Chain A
Amino acid sequence: MSAQTMTRSADEVAKRRRPGRLKAYNSFRGVMIVAVVLIFLLPLVWMVMASFKTNVDIHDTTKSFIFTPILDNYSHVLGNDSYLNFVWNSFWVAFCATGISLLIGVPAAYSMSRFNMQKSALLVLLARIIPGVSLLVPWYYVFANLGWVGGYGVLIISHMFILIPISVYIMMSFFDSMPLELEEASLVDGLTPIGAFLRILLPLSVPGIATAGILSFIFSWNNFMFALVLSGSNTKTLPVAVFDFVSYASIDWGAIMAAACIMTLPIIVVALFAQKYIVSGLTAGATKG
């Protein structure tokens, strides 16, 4: 509200001074904004269009934008029984890893935020810095000996390695911005500290939890490296399955693009509906200054 009124007054000041120049600036700005959107959307549009083209049309330079759309690529990809299985694998791994990470990460973030446990927080955030490859050899060895490789469990645990730091990081800055008085008031009202956390703070942190959950789900869904090594033929997630698809169908660009679109579609839907949460998750901690 106040930001908008301030902007308006700033614009008005400028308008009074040089009305012609402001108009010129505004149309220049419009053109630039359109250019930015085109730069970032056009490649994605190209991918979607290619997924509806025959391989002949993909090669045809006269059919860049005008062509007869076909569904063959999609029926080819989805006609493969195991493909829906890969979609399910991706969903199940992302769902479990996100759920457990939140269950572990949210209380931890609360403690670290309330009691200023800087050193403990650093331990968890160290997981963000360590290259994922360094986990793969030792854990592959342990999991292989336990006979776990190829199961869902190892995938979920390996994804949690990325998701717990994300959840802790987002939730810490969320709890940091919550007034301490809330908790004190509920303690005065006779709740135990844990009761205050469960009944007062947790319901109020639903937006923060949604933010952490959505970003975690996206990160898990998109993850490639861990599944490349730790998944079996039945537990392959979508990125790995699509990558394998490239190696034996390297010229079938139409089908590859259809597979890529199917993999990206759920994330785009999530992004459209939850953009507010994604933005606040990305900027967690950044805008406190």
Chain B
Amino acid sequence: MTTTSLNRSSGTERVSRWVNDHRKWIFAAPAMIFTAILIGFPIGWTIYLSVTDAKGSVRAPADFIGIENYIDVLTDVDRFWPAVMRTGVFTFGALAVELVAGMAIALLLWRPFKAQKWVRVAILLPFVATPVAIAMMWRLIFDPNIGFANRVLSWVGVPPQPWFSEPATTLPTLMFVDIWEFTPMIAIILLAGLTSLSDEPDEAARIDGANAWQRFWYVTLPLLRPVVLVAVLLRSIDALKTFDLLYVVKGQGGGSFHEAETLNIYVYGLSFKYNDFGTASAVLIIFFLMILVVMWLLTFRRKGAKL
């Protein structure tokens, strides 16, 4: 009797000791297995599809065709390269404005003032609000006939603009919406960074006679660099993959002249409109490599940068 109970207790003890000793992996395993399956399988599948002529139905037999899809994609000057251009212009154009404007707003809100908390809540709203709702809201505001934007322009004597309804103005208008939506996010991240800075370097520079601009450029900005880098990384990852805004405003194909067709919209259309899985997969692999290169370029000078 006693031996059995002893055995049992030492058994559970052994189990619990094993669990405790291996908690590092037991804790991490579910997340890692889930992520590995959820990412690993699609990447493998995409690589496989990208060297086949898979088209029409996911069930249709696909033949191995080597790197033909990649050649097709990389020589496609009608859809692929313009989409690459648009992705780059949209992402880095909007990001540049967001950084400068976000920094200006962060500096403006930095030193304490009475309604600071409420101002912070107010500028939080654009980027937490549902993107689909935001996109619809701007479609109404930029409507050429009834939109508020042209009404405001008429008050200051500027002729009405076509905004989303002309290919030439569509991409800049979309970038404007992205800037409106995400400048506050950059501002809030930078503001948190500014608030966590120590005042001493700034004070020292002030005593040395540096003016406000010099103190910002030579003291505050270098100290803030890591925070700026995190903001740029987070924003560029998401901007490269923008989907909701473009799709809600312009639909599949990015409009009748593909004027809003970025790589993400292009791949979505190839996959779910044309069911051209082989080509779509080749584009996806190239797109993914481009994102990795951009991330690497942004981080390679700073060891251990976290995403």
Residues A120 and B32 in contact, CB atoms below 8 Å apart: yes
Identity of the chain A residue whose Cβ is nearest the Cβ of B40 in the assembled complex: A123
**B23 touches which one: A111, A131, A133, A278 (CB < 8 A)?**
A111
- Confirm or deny: A234 has a beta carbon within 8 angstroms of a beta carbon on chain B: no
- Min CB distance, A149 to chain B, in Å? 12
**Contact (Cβ within 8 A) B126 A44:** yes
Q: Which of B138, B230, B291 contacts A43 (CB 8 A)?
A: B138
Please determine whether A193 and B20 come into contact, CB atoms closer than 8 angstroms: yes
Residue numbers in A under 8 Å from B223 (CB-CB): 289
Query: Is the CB of A78 closer than 8 A to any CB of chain B?
Result: no
Task: Check B43–A124 contact: CB distance below 8 A.
Answer: no
Cβ-defined contact, B203 with A131, below 8 A: no
- Kindly supply a per-residue 1/0 record for chain B positions 42-58, scoring 1 wherever the CB is within 8 Å of any chain A CB and 0 otherwise: 11011001000000001
Interface of B is mostly: helix
The residue in chain A whose Cβ has the minimal distance to the Cβ of B150 is A61
> Any chain B CB within 8 A of the CB of A76?
no
Docked-complex contact A131 and B141, CB < 8 angstroms: no
Q: Is the interface of A mostly helix, strand, loop or mixed?
A: helix
Asked if B257 is at the interface of the complex by the 8 Å CB criterion, the answer is no
Closest Cβ neighbor of B269 among chain A residues: A133
How many whole Å from A219's CB to the nearest CB in chain B?
10
A interface residues, Cβ below 8 angstroms from B: 3-4, 6-7, 10-11, 13, 29-30, 32-33, 36-37, 39-41, 43-44, 46-47, 50, 58-59, 61, 64, 104-105, 107-108, 110-112, 114-115, 117-118, 120, 123-142, 144, 157, 160-161, 164-165, 168-169, 173, 192-194, 197, 218, 221-222, 224-225, 228-229, 238-239, 242-243, 246, 253, 256-257, 260-261, 263-264, 267-268, 270-272, 275, 278-280, 282-283, 285-289
What is the interface of chain B, defined by CB distance below 8 A to chain A?
16, 19-20, 23-28, 30-32, 34-36, 38-39, 41-43, 45-46, 49, 58, 105, 108-109, 111-113, 117, 119-126, 128-133, 136-138, 140-141, 145-146, 148, 151, 180, 184-185, 188-189, 192-193, 195-196, 199, 202-203, 206, 223, 226-227, 230-231, 237, 240-241, 243-244, 247-248, 264, 267-268, 271-272, 277, 280-281, 284, 287-288, 291-292, 295, 304, 306-307
